[in-house]
Amino acid sequence: MSAPAPIPPVTVGVFDSGVGGLSVLRELQRQLPLAHLVYVADSGHAPYGERSTGYVIERSTHIARFLLQRGARVLVVACNTATAAAAQVLRDAYPDTPIVGVEPGLKPAVALTRNRRIGVLATEGTLASAKFQALLARLRERAAFHLQPCPGLAHAIESGNPEAPEVLALVERYCAPLRAHDVDTVVLGCTHYPFVAAAIQRAMGPQVQLVDTAQAVARHTVTQAQKMLDSLPAVPEPAARPRHVEAHTSGAVDHLARITARWLDFPVQVQAWA
pLDDT at 239 (0 to 100): 43
Mean pLDDT of the chain: 88
The predicted model gives 131-149 an average pLDDT of: 95
User: b vs e for 229-264, b when ≥16 Cβ sit within 10 Å of the residue's Cβ?
Assistant: beeeeeeeeeeeeeeebebbbbbeeebbbebbeebb
The CATH number assigned to the domain with range 11-102+215-272 reads 3.40.50.1860
Residue 43 marked ligand-binding: no
The predicted model gives 139-167 an average pLDDT of: 93
Residue 191 marked ligand-binding: yes
pLDDT at 7 (0 to 100): 52
Q: Which helix (H) or strand (E) holds 117?
A: strand 117-122
Q: Give the residue with greater pLDDT, 248 vs 237.
A: 248
Q: Are 12 and 32 in contact (CB under 8 A)?
A: yes
Q: Give the residue with greater pLDDT, 160 vs 166.
A: 166
Residue 249 marked ligand-binding: no
The predicted model gives 88-101 an average pLDDT of: 94
Asked whether residue 115 carries a pLDDT value surpassing 80, the answer given is: yes
Segment among 12-26, 37-51, 197-211 with least mean pLDDT: 37-51
Residue limits of CATH 3.40.50.1860 in the chain: 11-102+215-272, 106-213
Q: Are 70 and 11 in contact (CB under 8 A)?
A: yes
Active-site amino acid positions: 79, 190
pLDDT at 177 (0 to 100): 98
Asked whether residue 266 carries a pLDDT value surpassing 80, the answer given is: yes
Q: Give the residue with greater pLDDT, 33 vs 248.
A: 248
pLDDT at 52 (0 to 100): 84
Topology given in CATH for the domain delimited by 106-213? Rossmann fold (3.40.50)
Q: Are 210 and 188 in contact (CB under 8 A)?
A: yes
Residue 49 marked ligand-binding: yes
Of 23, 28, 92, 22, residue with least CA distance to 57: 92
Distance between CA atoms of 248 and 206, rounded to whole angstroms?
37
Q: Which helix (H) or strand (E) holds 100?
A: strand 99-100
Quick: pLDDT tens for 25-77. Answer: 998 998 888 889 999 999 999 878 778 889 999 999 999 999 999 999 999 99
Residue 192 marked ligand-binding: yes
